[in-house]
Amino acid sequence: MSLMQEMSLRALDLGVPISVHFDITYRCNERCLHCYLDHDDHGEMTTSEIKRVLEELAGAGTFFLTFSGGEVLMRRDFFELLEYARHLMFSVRIKTNAVMIREAEARRMMELGVDQVQISIYSHRPEVHDAITKLPGSLQRSVEAIRFLTGQGLRVVIANVLMTANLGDGAGVQALARELGVPYTLDPTITPKMDGDTSILNLRIPGTELSQVFRNESLVGNVEEFCAPPPPPDEDVMEGYPCSAGHTLAYISPYGDVFPCVQFPLPSGNVRRQKFIEIWERSSQLKEVRSIRAKDLTVCSGCSHVGTCTRCPGLAYMEGSMRGPSTADCEKSFHRTGIASANMLRNLEDRSSPGGPLIQIQSAVA
C-alpha cells in the first residue's frame, strides 16, 4: 500500500475531509455544450469570505484543495486566493480552460507551488474544440497556455470529455498531449445540469464507443485485466463504502453551499451560515451519505459488478436515490465486461417484453 493510500485510509478512519473541491466561481469565458453549470453570478463569496473558509478547511485537516469553476481566472482575486491557500499549506490543484493563462500567470503559479494544472481539451482540431467551447480561438489559446505552464516546469494534465460532438477525436487529443509532453485523461461522463435539466445527456457517446474506449490499451493499461468479469463480492466489499464523497471529500460552491461531491448535489449546509467543521461533523445529509454501505444499495447490492463498478452515488441521487443505481455506470460496467448489471436486467424485466430485451443486450456486446 502506498503512503498516499495509507493516508486516505487514515483520513477515512478519523473522518477528516482530506480533499476539497472548491468552485470559486461559476462564471466562465467558454460556453461548453456539455457544461452542467449556470454561469450567471448569483452572489459569489467575497475574497475575505473565501479566505475564512480556507482557514476553516486547513483547521479541519484538508490537505488536497482543488480550485475549479467555472473558469477560476474569471475571478480578479484568483492569485490572491491561490497565494493564501499556499500559505495555508494546501496541496493545490487547478482546473481551468487556460485561455487566460499567459507566461506571467504560468510563472506565478509555479512560484506559488501549484501541484497540478488540469486543462480541458476536447479535440486537436480547432473547428471541433472551438465549436464545443463556443469560443473562437480557444484551442490555440489553451495549447499555448500548456506550453507556458510546462515551460515553467508545472505539471499539466489534459482532460478530455468524450461526447458525441468530439467522437473520434480522442486519439488526436492523445497525440497532442504526447507532443506537448503531458499526461492525458479521458472521461466519458456527461452529467445532468445542476437545475436537473437532462437535455445535455444526449451528448453521451453510444455504448459501442464506450466498449472501444475500454479496450484501448493506451488508456486503460492491461485490457484483459481491466475488462475481466467481476470477482464474486466478499464481505469486505459489502461492508465497504461506495466512494469517498462525504467521507473524505467535500465540495463547496461559489455561494458557500457544501455538498458531498461536485457530482452529488445534496445540499448539506452553507459556510456563510455555519463553520465548515460544524457542517462536516453535524450535517444530517452527510451522516446519511456516510451510513450507506454497499450491502445497503437497493439494486446494486445484488449485482455482480458491486465490487468493481464505478457507481457514482451522486449520479444515482440525481436519478432518484442515493442508494439506487447510476445507469451511466451500469452501462460502463456492461460495456467494459460484457456482463449486464442487475439494474439493466431489472429494467428489461420491467418492460416485460417476452424474450426480446435480453437478446438486445447480447447483440450490443457483439
Partner 1 sequence: MTEKYIAKSSAIASRMLGGEMMIMSALDSTFFTLNPAATVVWQAADGRTALSEIVRNHVCREFDVDIEIAQRDVEHFVGELSQHGILLVSDRPFPKPSASPTEAA
Task: Please state whether 319 falls in left (phi above 0), alpha (psi between -120 and 50) or beta.
Answer: alpha
11 binds partner 1 (CB under 8 A): yes
Nine cell digits for residue 127: 473547428
Find the shortest distance in angstroms from Cβ 269 to partner 1.
22
Q: In the 3-class helix/strand/coil scheme, how is 244-275 assigned residue by residue?
A: CECCCEEEECCCCEEECECCECCCCEECCCCC
Under 8 Å between Cβ of 126 and 139:
yes
**CB atoms < 10 A from the CB of 304, how many?**
18
Nine cell digits for residue 99: 485561455
Give the bridge partners for 185, in sequence order. Answer: 159
Find the shortest distance in angstroms from Cβ 95 to partner 1.
17
10 binds partner 1 (CB under 8 A): yes
Nine cell digits for residue 83: 497565494
Nearest to 95 by CA among 147, 142, 163: 142
Identified binder of partner 1 from the candidate list 20, 37, 74, 92, rule CB under 8 A: 92
Under 8 Å between Cβ of 58 and 47:
no
9 binds partner 1 (CB under 8 A): no
Identified binder of partner 1 from the candidate list 29, 39, 61, 211, rule CB under 8 A: 61
Residue 352: what residue type? S
228 binds partner 1 (CB under 8 A): no
Identified binder of partner 1 from the candidate list 90, 122, 148, 264, rule CB under 8 A: 90
Residue 208: what residue type? T
In the complex with partner 1, the residue whose CB is nearer, 90 or 184, is 90
Find the shortest distance in angstroms from Cβ 254 to partner 1.
21
Identified binder of partner 1 from the candidate list 36, 63, 241, 255, rule CB under 8 A: 63
Find the shortest distance in angstroms from Cβ 279 to partner 1.
19
Identified binder of partner 1 from the candidate list 3, 222, 225, 351, rule CB under 8 A: 3
Find the shortest distance in angstroms from Cβ 5 to partner 1.
10
Find the shortest distance in angstroms from Cβ 96 to partner 1.
18
91 binds partner 1 (CB under 8 A): yes
14 binds partner 1 (CB under 8 A): yes
115 binds partner 1 (CB under 8 A): yes
Under 8 Å between Cβ of 122 and 166:
yes
Nearest to 230 by CA among 331, 329, 341, 348: 341
Residues that bind partner 1 (CB under 8 A): 3-4, 6-7, 10-11, 13-14, 16, 18, 51, 55, 58, 61-63, 84, 86-92, 113-116, 155
